[in-house]
Amino acid sequence: MSETDTELSRAEHKQSVRILALISTGHALSNFYILCLPALIPFLKVEFAVSYTFLGLLLSTRSITTGFFQIPVGFMVDRIGGKIVLVTGLFILSISVALLAVIPSFWYAMPLMVTFGIGIASMRPSNYTIINASMPSAWIGRAFGINMFAGHAGRVVAPPLLVTSALLWGWRVAVVIAGVLGIIVTFGLMTQWKNVRDDSIGKKPPGGLGFFQEIRSLASGSLMVFFVFFIFNALGTHGIHSFIVAALAELHNTPLTVASGALTVYLVASAIGVLGGGFIVDKTPRHTFLAVTVLVSSGVLLILLGTLTMPLFAIIILMSFIGLFQGALRPARDMLMRAVIPRESFGKAIGMVATGAAFGGASAPVIFGWILDSGNPSWLFYVLAGCLAILVVTVLIPKKAISVPTVP
């Protein structure tokens, strides 16, 4: 390799790192924003004198909007490009958060939750498409891993940062600070506009497939398998996030502080697993084997948690390994998807499977809440393990590359 080629390679590497840093920061902020409102619920309840039910309505409005717009946004990503959708979505999201500071009453927050949901819906399809197109193929796995690690980090730091800011300066100042951060990242992305590739090669040609025709073409066996994967993956993940603390307290008489600490350890270990899994999938093509291994390992540990009486330190250790395995699953999953989804349809495909995740996440509180209300907390762990067993089946099902025909 000549000196000029080496310098060019170094320049491309630095450029890729800058792009990944900005995309991952945007992902971290979007996840930060998702937990922004829940963290501020006590402050909003006092400020507007409303019930938790009405505050929950805000969260539901945001979630329903996000689920509804996932597929249309994915379609837009493949038509006009991921970077336009990402920058626009992040700007809408940031402005929606910042404008919460000026609402005079509770009901003014409702339309902001709609725009908030649209902004969130734009993140995953555009994120994945840009990374898939802009990163060198030799480290695409670790790029996915770093991006997901950033998302985890955003979720972890949101509650303490928002609550601390609200206690120091008031919740209105806290949301303004959060919104301004997003606007800064938006302009940072715009500085890299020419360098970001987004595979906007799916622009509809004359006589091409329409929206519903293309969706039907994509809805092949392979993508439907991933759709089912995302439903049960989200079901299990939301079940752990929402009810594992209560289940550990009831089943093992774990003090709430320790049970909450076990969940925190799980989240931190999951973030580490995502980062490590990204590096692993770049080193081996055996992504199916990796996914099955971590799924089976997690399932066994969940069954042990639901069956055996164990000391507190053992519970924390098992939760840490479950988190580590669950984190490592995600880069392997993304590589399996990348192998069958055509680049020109990556955005809308991600939007479709993300809709499955929305269904699973919405179902989790009802299902796992009912299990705990039934007085059998051990069954929560068994059902979680059952979700992982279904994921194993979806991973092992042979998948063919998806092709989207065009109309001449």
Structure confidence by residue, pLDDT tens digits, 243-258: 788 888 888 888 877 8
- Find out if CATH 1.20.1250.20 is the number for domain 214-396: yes
Residue 211's SS3 state is: helix
For 193-239, write each residue's pLDDT tens digit.
Answer: 676 666 554 445 444 555 556 666 666 667 788 889 999 998 898 88
| Phi, psi dihedrals of residue 178, rounded to the nearest 5° | -60, -45
Per this entry, what is the length of the chain? 408
Rg, C-alpha atoms of the chain: 21
C-beta atoms surrounding 279 within 10 Å: 15
Sign of CA dihedral 320, 325, 331, 333: negative
- Top pLDDT among 300 and 138 is at 300
pLDDT at residue number 383: 95
Which helix (H) or strand (E) is 256 found in, with range? helix 256-283
| Choice between 350 and 312, residue whose per-residue pLDDT is larger | 312
- The dihedrals phi and psi of 29, each to the nearest 5 degrees, come to -65, -40
The stretch 127-137 carries a mean pLDDT of 77
The answer on pLDDT for 4 being more than 50 is no
**Given this model, what pLDDT does residue 290 score?**
93
Q: Which candidate, 287, 262, 266, places its Cα nearest to that of 277? A: 287
According to the model, what pLDDT value does residue 293 have? 95
Which has the higher per-residue pLDDT, 301 or 370?
301
Distance CA(123)–CA(110), nearest Å, equals 21
1-5, 76-80, 217-221, 284-288: range with lowest mean pLDDT = 1-5
Element (H, E) at 313: helix 312-338
Domain ranges across the chain: 13-196, 214-396
Computed over every residue of the chain, the mean pLDDT equals 81
- Residue 5's pLDDT is 44
- Are 40 and 166 in contact by the 8 Å Cβ rule? The answer is yes
Q: Of all residues in the chain, what percent carry a pLDDT higher than 90?
A: 24
Q: Which of the listed CATH numbers 3.30.70.330, 3.40.1410.10, 1.20.1250.20, 3.40.50.720 matches domain 13-196? A: 1.20.1250.20
User: Cα(158)–Cα(163) distance, rounded to whole angstroms?
Assistant: 8
**Model pLDDT, residue 105:** 87
Torsion angle (degrees, nearest 10) of CA 99, 105, 109, 110: -150
| d(C-alpha 319, C-alpha 324), whole Å | 9
pTM (2 decimals)?
A: 0.72
Higher-pLDDT residue of 208 and 45 is: 45
Taking 70 as the threshold, does the pLDDT of residue 405 lie above it? no
- Residue 138 CA, chain-centre distance (Å), reads 23
Question: Taking the CB of residue 205, how many other CB atoms lie within 10 A of it?
Answer: 10
Domains 13-196 and 214-396 share a fold: yes
Cα–Cα distance for residue pair 8/15, rounded to 1 Å: 10
Which spans in 35-81 are helix H?
36-48, 52-80
Structure tokens at 10: 């170094």
Report the pLDDT averaged over residues 308-329. Answer: 92
* Per-residue model confidence as pLDDT tens digits over 7-35: 446 766 777 787 788 888 888 888 888 87
Q: What is the pLDDT of residue 220?
A: 66
408, pLDDT greater than 70? no
Q: Of all residues in the chain, what percent carry a pLDDT higher than 70?
A: 86
pLDDT for residue 34: 80
pLDDT of residue 3: 47
Asked if pLDDT for residue 265 goes beyond 70, the answer is yes
Q: Quickly count helices (H) and strands (E) in the chain.
A: 14, 0
Cα–Cα dist 242/247, whole Å: 10
**Higher pLDDT, residue 277 or 57:** 277
| Identity of the highest mean pLDDT range in 106-115, 235-244, 339-348 | 106-115
Residue for token pair 């020109």: 344
- Report CA-CA distances (Å) from 10 to 16, 235, 311, 340: 10, 43, 52, 31
The secondary structure of residue 205, as a DSSP letter, is P
pLDDT of the residue at 304: 95
First CA to last CA across the chain, in angstroms? 44
